[in-house]
Structure 1
Amino acid sequence: MAPPAVDAFPEAPAPVEAGGKPERSSQTLTRALDILDAVRGGPISLPDLERQLGLSRSTAHRLATALVERRLLSHDPRKGYRLGPRLMDLGFLAHEATDLATVAQPTLDAISQRTDDATNLAIRDGDDVVYIARSASRRRVVVRHRIGDRNRIADTALGRALLLDAPSDVWTEYFPLEELKPAIEDRFTRHVDAEGDRICCIASPIRGASGAIVAALSLSSIPQYMTSERLEQAGRYVIEGADAISRQLGWGWKI
């Protein structure tokens, strides 16, 4: 078998960044991460890695071999390279280390401080939503839920947000079908209590690394503070906040 091809010209000495660290180190790391990303879709051969990433045979082989040695890749002589068991270990560790309420609390506080309204984080438990984090309203009329409180899915914007990905037959167990399409398009849901202070609530789903909805974030206020213009503005805050928490949980990230 012929030896692996080498680059036609030797590389120039790596430039040195401020602090004395060579740029080549960061380039090598970036290329290794590109290889992991390329293997996400399934086994890939060394020639395909070269073509896909624009690497020489020697560079692709050197990096892939190093990743195999660290168990970040596995190699099958017939099928090529695939993701290795160490990545699964790291994924489980990251998942266990991520506490949803702890991750979300700074975002809840930031939205409440910006709007003066109450914010809540909830998860689904059967036919209920369960509040697992909150930030209090700064207004005279206080909208308050305690951590651990429950509410029926059908009575909340949070419940609507938690079910945005559900099949239509599941959605219609709780809500009118005509509410589903606008909620998906707006990316936030709405609910107004029929009794008492007629609390207005808007909510947006939070997604985990797999893309599945794992929780929802809401903002609650009273009608006098929730004009049509402010509803749209608050909706943007809720969407941005839910997306920020989702990204911290791994949603939308590549390896």
Structure 2
Amino acid sequence: MTSTEDTTSNDSPKGAPAGTQTLSRGLAILECVADGISDVKGISAAIGKPRSTVHRMLGNLVAEGYLHHVPYSGYLIGPKLIRLGMVGLEQRPLVALAKPHLEELARKTNDTVHLAELDGATLFYLSKIPGRRGLEMRSRIGKRMPAASTGVGKGLMLGLPKSTWKGLYEQACAFSAQSDERPQLAPWSVFEEGMDEYVREGFSLDFEENELGIRCVGAPVFDVRGEAVAGVSIASAVPYMPEERMRSLGPVVRATADAISAELGWTPKE
């Protein structure tokens, strides 16, 4: 990214090397576009900089391949950022170590396989292997969702302290309330009772709580400290996921999660 912006503004960190301000502005613009702010006016307002400055930096980012401009529509993430993002995911130890186990689970079941972690209080999808049944679902790598409303998120939650469940549940309820088209979670007492049962069984079940017509089975992944760091799930349409099959697949999903955990240095408690 090239620019003749001055680099000595008061919003630069004291003692920062030349170019820090320009870099920070460029990164802020990229984050705006990633969050869906795609026009010069909106980006200018979001980062508090003049439109002329924003327009010039957008031009640089497009020229370098970090952004893509669609006339009359706005700016989108460009091919260079997409490539870097995919490489970054592949280089993460968790994703790299989990990949062969996820592929084997997908091969065994023919269902869609997910790997996700918590980023703050939000579930972040790290990997998705589509099933072989020709089904499409809303999940995708990089998508963020409330943990308590997804099968993979509930699987992860089984390894978290029970004291964290209520907050994650309330976050999911608030998210679902934003649209009449989204499934609504069961009352807290029912949800909590179900989670207690899933902890005893070692895997979670999702009966269309995130996406109508889709059922999931999930389990937690632990690291060397014994802390839950991710969730693994399989998902498919209701006709392929009667409750009997879901429960029979529970130990299979849990075995995959345990195998990934072992790769991270986890050992089961005696």
TM-score range, shorter chain: 0.5 to 0.7
Return the letter of the residue paired with 2:144. R
In 2: Cα distance, 1:113 partner to 1:138 partner: 9
Matched residue type, 1:159: G
Q: CA deviation at 1:180?
A: 2.4
Structure 1 portions without partners, runs of 5+:
1-96
2:66 aligned partner: none
Residue aligned with 1:209, SS? coil
Q: Distance in 2 between matches of 1:150 and 1:195?
A: 12
Aligned to 1:88: none
**C-alpha spacing 1:168/1:100, structure 2 compared with 1 (3 Å):** closer
Q: Distance in 2 between matches of 1:195 and 1:244?
A: 26
Query: Residues 199 and 168 (structure 1 numbering): CA distance in 2 closer, same or farther, change over 3 Å?
Result: same
In 2, Cα distance between equivalents of 1:221 and 1:184:
22
Distance in 2 between residues matched to 1:162 and 1:248, nearest whole Å: 17
Distance 1:195 1:240, change over 3 A: closer
Tell me the amino acid that sits aligned with residue 235 of structure 1: G
Equivalent residue for 1:114?
108
* Distance across 2 between alignment mates of 1:243 and 1:104: 10
Once the two structures are aligned, what percentage of the paired residues are identical? 32
| Structure 2 counterpart of 1:130, from 121, 124, 130 | 124
1:207 is the counterpart of 2:225: no
Deviation string, structure 1 residues 149-206 (Cα, Å, up to 9, x no partner): 1111121122222222434342123153212210111111122335764210111000
Aligned residue identity for 2:124: V
Pair 1:253–1:224, CA change in 2 (3 A): closer
Please identify the structure whose Cα radius of gyration is greater: 1
User: Which of 241, 249, 267 in structure 2 is aligned with 1:226?
Assistant: 241
Number of residue pairs matched? 158
Partners of 1:177 and 1:253 lie apart in 2 by: 25
Deviates more, 1:199-208 or 1:156-165: 156-165
Q: Does 1:164 align with 2:179?
A: no
**Counterpart-to-counterpart distance in 1, 2:95 and 2:225:** 18
CA distance in 1, matches of 2:210, 2:218: 19
Q: Would the aligned equivalents of 2:205 and 2:246 in 1 still touch at CA under 8 Å?
A: no
> Please, what TM-score do these two structures have when normalized by structure 1?
0.57
Give secondary structure in 2 for the equivalent of 1:172.
Answer: helix
Please give the root-mean-square deviation of Cα atoms over the aligned residues, in Å.
2.3
The TM-score with structure 2 as length reference comes to: 0.54
Query: Which residue does 2:251 correspond to in 1?
Result: 236
Give the whole-Å Cα distance in 2 for the aligned partners of 1:235 and 1:151. Answer: 22
Partner SS for 2:231 = strand
Q: How far 1:144 sits from its partner (Å)?
A: 5.5
Asked whether the equivalents of residues 149 and 209 of structure 2 are also in contact (C-alpha less than 8 Å), the reply is no
Label 1:143 to 1:236 Cα distance change in 2 as closer, same or farther (>3 A): farther
Once residues 113 and 201 of structure 1 are traced to their aligned partners in structure 2, the CA distance between those partners, rounded to angstroms, is: 16
